[in-house]
Structure 1
């Protein structure tokens, strides 16, 4: 185990000077980030550029949370477009870091601010009588993993156009199933945070999660009369 950790540390150390070189080559609209998935709450271990406004010691985005949950089965995410909370349109590629055993332990991410390019494209399209708007999903980039988890929960509720109290039982189960699929519960403390965001008890959150998985989580609290929650990498 120690040898594997040393190998992973060496790979990350080798990449740290690379981020500056990539940004120097591609310019001020580029940002390059090295993530260490072994510490999701402060996964940013190297960064150059200012596209997303994060700093070293910051957390991963929704994309990173999903990759973390998929573990070694995850695959690179290339050339995807998202929009930041501030409105920037960002084209990104997230390339996973694997050790010699194939274990995923981090990622090298390249983010390019294409806002101006998209605006120019839209203007040229209007002049030519052709429009091709980009409907990119909004992604939360922040130094606090809590803000990322909150954003994922809020986005799911907005899609339902209902508050928690207005959701049917089936809709509540679907919400938890969707959050689980997005990797939310792979983040330490996420179950408590999701419960607080929805205005329910931690025990109720575990119970809904258990019912979506239909298995048993050892040691997790559950409401009286309800089954114990399921285990799938839940970080209490």
Structure 2
């Protein structure tokens, strides 16, 4: 497959079939990764699970795949959380073209919140382990995703910007770069304001981090 749009009819049938199999607690999303990441969702079933819609952004995990930080982005049966506290059992499978470049993804998010509440009695049904928990952020706006990555960056460095040294800021930029933050449009401007540095300094630190 070279283009998601060429196979939309087939792929739409697949995500409809998956959602029908598991019911209204199962969100199934089709991403087109060949265009703007902030509008990567091209089809979605049961969107109330994460509150997203067609035209919304992908997650932080997809950015890492596009950046190349993660070579094989496929993940199966991992635990994630929505902003409003739902617990999901998720699977993400990436679609590559003939050159091995990711061009799309099918993501399944099954809301198991009710099952978790009754876990002591139906543990054999949920069959989940919090050890497999993965931080995945579901957003409608890609800028919200950038804010999340910046917050995680601050936690990683472990100090406020006012106390960051040059090396701290290089590490912060390296962290954001590995997680694909700079694939987001105008992310550089946002990061410059966050770290209180110039665009020239940003590019210099990026080169240092990648070197």
Q: TM-score, normalised by structure 2?
A: 0.84
- Root mean square deviation of aligned Cα: 2.6
**What are the residue-to-residue correspondences of 1:157-172 with 2, within 5 Å?**
157-172=154-169
Worse overlay, 164-173 or 20-29: 164-173
8 Å Cα contact 1:146-1:193 kept in structure 2: no
Q: Does 1:203 align with 2:204?
A: no
Measured after TM superposition, the shift of residue 105 of structure 1 is 0.5
**What are the residue-to-residue correspondences of 1:214-225 with 2, within 5 Å?**
214=211
Q: Counterpart of 2:92?
A: 94
Q: Does 1:181 align with 2:178?
A: yes
2:24 is matched with which residue: 28, 41, 47?
28
CA offset digits 1:51-77 (Å, max 9, x no partner): 111000001100111111129943312
Gaps of 5+ in 1: 126-131, 215-236
Question: Between Structure 1 and Structure 2, how many residues are aligned?
Answer: 203
Q: Does 1:190 align with 2:187?
A: yes
CA offset digits 1:102-126 (Å, max 9, x no partner): 33201011111122222222x559x
Gaps of 5+ in 2: 123-127
Q: What secondary structure is seen at the aligned counterpart in 2 of 1:46?
A: strand
Q: Counterpart of 2:125?
A: none
Q: Which has the higher contact order (CA 8 A, sep 6+)?
A: 2
Q: TM-score, normalised by structure 1?
A: 0.76
Closer, same or farther in 2 for the Cα pair 1:134/1:119, shift >3 Å? farther
8 Å Cα contact 2:30-2:42 kept in structure 1: yes
Measured after TM superposition, the shift of residue 134 of structure 1 is 3.0
8 Å Cα contact 2:89-2:111 kept in structure 1: yes
